[in-house]
Each structure stands twice: as structure tokens, then as C-alpha cells.
Structure 1
């Protein structure tokens, strides 16, 4: 997501890699939106497999930031071009903070991908010409340290950008200095090694001729703009669809029936009888408008009476003896 220097040939392979990364980011955010609006059951923000996917995409972006910094400024920092790009990234970061604060005030993005890129781009500049052992040493320390040290102090938003938290504060996107600045340095190291080897000429000679590589390279050259625009465009499609289709209703019904069926069968009741029982319970919840009580766990005395009555009625369907005269 950084520009390359005009003093070097443009590496199309880097643009293609950026294009692939931005497509992966868009796809991930689409899944996040679908999860948030309950079109899909996966918890994209917290399920372990989705966390691995998100971190892999983030790592690719930050690695490419290091690549771009070396390609653009490895022979000498072009300050005018650097600050022009940097201001654009920072403006995008602030716009994302404002937009997410208005939409999600309790979990707005106060230090996300663009905030990190703005800071890391400045921090990485001294390492573009330093002896290679120095960025290598710093990268190892920055990446390893969060796995060795943590403190509750860094759970607070003010200090969380450093990265040594025990429990991260709520945020829809948080990219702390430790360990992620180390990934940028890995990009710096790898690119400097490549440029000093015969592999550099071979990579520079790659010229995408087919349509797909050309499209990916084009997207890579405009990856920052795509990053800024893709989420508003996605939300502009998903939000109205959610308002019309109300997927949360179908999702909560499915989740209730699944949990009820599992719990019922764990108690030794047959699957057929549990289906009857759970369907009855669902009807009772809907008729008495008890969804909020069921999901929140905050049940008033009156709601408890309704739940108990519904449970007794549904139990009588599968255990007829409960209807027998006492």
C-alpha cells in the first residue's frame, strides 16, 4: 500500500501481491459484515480460524509495507513523495476512526491498519539503510516480546497500541506496535536481500501478460484507495439487505433450536421427542415475546412465569404423564 520509487523499475510481482492481499481483505470484511448482520452463523471476529485468517491477511499487508518502503526510498528517502503518501494514509486512518466511532462508539477503530501503517512507515525509515543485522535484531525482539511479557496496564486503550495486553480492549480493528512493526521490518529485510541478489533482475523482468495478473496488479497499485472505499460500499449493500430480509430472526431461531435439541438429547431424550419439545418451546417464546429475556438472561418475574408455563406445556407433549390428574 505504498508507492515505489521512479528510480527503480516497477516490480509488477509486488503490485500483484498487493492485489491479492486487498482482495483477501475485502473478502474477510464481507464475511465480517455478514456475520455482524447475522447472515452467517460464524463469529468472524473471534472464532479461532477466522482470527488466523485475519492475522495472515494483516501480516501480508504489513510485510508489503516494508517492501514498498525499500523500493520507494531504499536509495534515499524522497521526502516530498513520502509525506504526501503519509498524509493520505493518516487522513484515511482518521476518517475510519470517525466513521467507526459514529457507528460503533464502544468498539471504534482508534489504532487500526492505516494508523499502524502511518506510524510504522516513519519508524521503519532508519532501517532502510542500516546494517541488516540491526532490523533483523529489532524484528526478532518486537515479534517475540509480546509472547514473553504482558501486563494488565496494557489492557487500557491508552496503552493498548503498544501491544502487551492480557485482554485486548474492545475495538473492531487493533494493530499494536508489538508484534506488528516487526512484520514491516521483515519486509524491509527481505526486500533489501532480494535487491542485492541476482533474483532482483529476474523479478523486475516479470511482466504480467494475462488479464488476471494485470487486474491484480492494477488493484495493487490502487490498494490504499480500495481499502478506504471497500467497507462503506460493502455496508451500503449488506445493511439495506439486512433491514429488508431480517436475517437475525432466522439465525436466532436456528441457534435456539440447535442448542435446545442438543441439551434435550444430552438428557437422554430421543431426537424425535426433542424436536417436538424444542419446536413447542420456540412457539412459546415467540408468542410471549421472550427473545430478549432468553438472549440477555435478564428475566423478570412475569417473564419467568411465562417461561415456566411454556416449559411445562412442552414437557407434557413428550411426557404425557405430566398431564395426568394429580
Structure 2
């Protein structure tokens, strides 16, 4: 009976490994490493502030995040079908969630003002838990809900989701400060779309055809597939290695002393434009910058010595500038 008649969309995962999936995951990892390398260069002062968070690099980062979540959705279906294997699922979940917690702790100790409280690994772990509810649904329903998840943050936001303990949902009006923020919405969308399309592929027998497709025996292909099969280890190791390389280079050839002002204004505008017009954000960010400078608060704020939570003057300035130009 067809899954469109109400049967589960797939009855069991394929027993054959799909090399194309390993290859795709490996390519996504290499793309992520290239983006993080640009971020590291910016962090150490070799690129202009805001370079990695706007324009083509911003779109590049979003495409990479979407591909990881899409592939995670694909993998959930291929690993379990509609017959969940609890031991295997919990083992994988513990690895991903444990790695996410470790990253949160490490970044909190290193950069407490913008630590990673809900990054890509957090999103994958949360999406995997939610994805369990979709394993038995028809693929079309899963696909449709995935599309809704993509659209929802664009049409509805609420200030109730602004606190950091709720911002991870993704319906905030003011995004939190974080060096890697991947909220559940809209990023649950590509995960469910991956699940839905894989459900369609399994129900039509396309996965067996994909499993029969070779990806070559060249060293590049073998290395890419190897990284794809060990994606979590690659994720955890690559950034410390890249940072160590850039740091070593900085000891030999130090970057010019950075001016924090352009970077602050750029980050302010990026955050503001998530919920307001470009014209308002230009005026608002100029106002906030001028007030911080006039009250000798700019340097303490950008260096993290004071925050919005620790110094009431910061939110007061934001409210004053909002009222002036709204």
C-alpha cells in the first residue's frame, strides 16, 4: 500500500552505505572549515570587522548550516526508517549533545559575552529529538512542516522570545550576541525537508540506486568520504587547528591594530536589520555609538567589561535611541 494512503513512508533503513552521502557531508565540512578560516582571519585582525557576517560570506555560512541540518535529517531516516533503534539513537545523541555542551563551556570561558549557547551542534541535537515525532509520518507531511518552519520566523516574531533562555526557539525580535547562533527556527526546516525527501526516496526505492553509485577511488574522494564518516570528530578538531595556525602566523607577521568602531557599527546594523528597516538601523546604530562614546562606555562595552545585563546605562541608551527614531 502507498504511503500516501496513510502507511508509514518507509519501513526500514537501507543496509548499504551511500557513498554519495559521505561525500556530501565531507564537502560540507570542508566548506565549513573554509568559512571558519575567514572568521579566524577576521578575529585576528587580518580582515575588516564584519567581513564574515555580511554579504556573500553570510549567505555562504547559511548555506553551509542548511546543508548540515539537511544531511542530518537524511541520516536520521536512513539510520532508523520508521523502526527506531533506541540504543543507536541515544548513543549518537549523547555524542552530539555532549560535544555541544563542551563547546558552550569552552566558549563561555573564552568569550563569555558572546559564547555559543545554541550553535549548529545544539540545533542538530534538538532537531534529532523533534525528528523522532516525524519518522512515522508520511513524507509529504514532514516536507510541508519543514517548509513552514522555514517561513514562520519571517512572518511572526515576539519579544517574549528575546531572553537568552528562549532565544534558541528563533522567534525573537532582537537576536542574542553569539559567535555561532543557529536557532531552532528556521533551521529545523532543512532538517525536516531532508527527512521528507529521504522518506520519498526510500519509498520509491531510489536509495538503492544511490547506494550503487560510486564516488571514485582518488585520494581526494577517499579523504572526503573519510571526513564525512567522521564528521563530529572533524568538527571538533578543525577550529582549534585553524586558530593555532592563524595564531602562529600572527606571531610572525602581526596584523595592524584594529579599530573597533567600524566592526561595532557593522554588527549593530546586522542585528538591527533582522527586525527593522535599513534606514532606522543606520540612525539607531549611529545614535547608540555616539552615546556610548560620549559617556565613555564604548571601550568597556566592546571589550566585554560591561554588558547590557551588568550596566543599566546600556539598555537605557538603546531605549533612548529607539524612541528618537521610531
TM-score by length of 1: 0.73
Aligned residue for 2:310? none
Kindly provide the CA deviation profile for residues 202-260 of structure 1, in whole angstroms up to 9, marking residues without a partner as x. Answer: 211012233122221111001111001111111122223324432033x65xx9xxxxx
Q: Which residue of 2 is the match for residue 64 of structure 1?
A: 71
d(CA) in 1 for partners of 2:177, 2:245: 25
Could you tell me how far 1:41 is from its partner in structure 2? 2.3
Conservation of the 8 A alpha-carbon contact between 1:37 and 1:248: no
Shift of 1:57: 0.2
- Indicate which of 220, 240, 247 corresponds to 1:239: 247
The corresponding residue for 1:225 is: 233
Deviation of 1:171 (Å): 0.4
For residue 21 of structure 1, give the secondary structure of its aligned residue in structure 2.
helix
Secondary structure of the residue aligned to 1:94 is: helix
Partner of 1:37: 44
Distance 2:79 2:183 in 1: 24
Per the alignment, residue 293 of structure 1 pairs with: none
Moved more, 232-241 or 111-120: 232-241
1:216 to 221, 224, 232: 224
Deviation at 1:132, TM superposition (A): 2.3
Per-residue CA deviation, residues 133-164 of structure 1 (Å, 9 max, x unaligned), is 32133213211110101122322211111101
Q: 2:133 aligns with which of 126, 132, 142?
A: 126
1:81 counterpart residue number: 88
Q: CA deviation at 1:197?
A: 2.2
Q: Secondary structure at the match of 1:122?
A: helix
Out of 185, 193, 196, which is 1:186 matched to? 193
Report if the CA contact (8 A) 2:13-2:77 is conserved: no
Q: Distance in 2 between matches of 1:45 and 1:155?
A: 24
CA distance in 2, matches of 1:52, 1:101: 26
Q: 1:189 to 1:299 in 2, by over 3 A?
A: closer
CA contact (8 A) 2:143 2:197 kept: no
Rounded to whole Å, the distance in 1 between the matches of 2:92 and 2:193 is 21
* Residue of structure 1 in register with 2:105 after alignment: 98
SS of 1:150's equivalent? coil
Partner of 2:287: none
Match of 2:266? none
Instruction: Select the structure of larger CA radius of gyration.
Output: 1
Q: Deviations over 1:183-203 (max 9, x none)?
A: 100000111111222432321
- Determine which of 47, 53, 61 is the counterpart of 1:54: 61
Question: In structure 2, how many angstroms separate the alpha carbons of the residues matched to 1:12 and 1:62?
Answer: 18
CA distance in 2, matches of 1:25, 1:149: 29
Aligned length: 255
Distance 2:178 2:226 in 1: 31
- Take 2:14 and 2:25, find their aligned partners in 1: how far apart are those partners? 20
Classify the secondary structure of the residue corresponding to 1:196. helix
Matching residue within 220, 244, 256 for 1:248 = 256
1:177 corresponds to 2:184: yes
CA distance in 1: counterparts of 2:155 and 2:37, whole angstroms: 34
- Shift of residue 60 of structure 1? 0.2
Question: 1:80 offset after TM fit, Å?
Answer: 0.8
2:85 & 2:102 partners in 1: Cα distance?
26
TM-aligned CA distance change 1:6 to 1:197, over 3 Å: closer
Distance in 2 separating the partners of 1:132 and 1:6: 14
Structure 1 residue runs without a partner (length 5+): 256-295, 301-326
Q: Write the distance in 1 (CA, Å) between the matches of 2:197 and 2:16.
A: 18
Matched with 2:280 is none
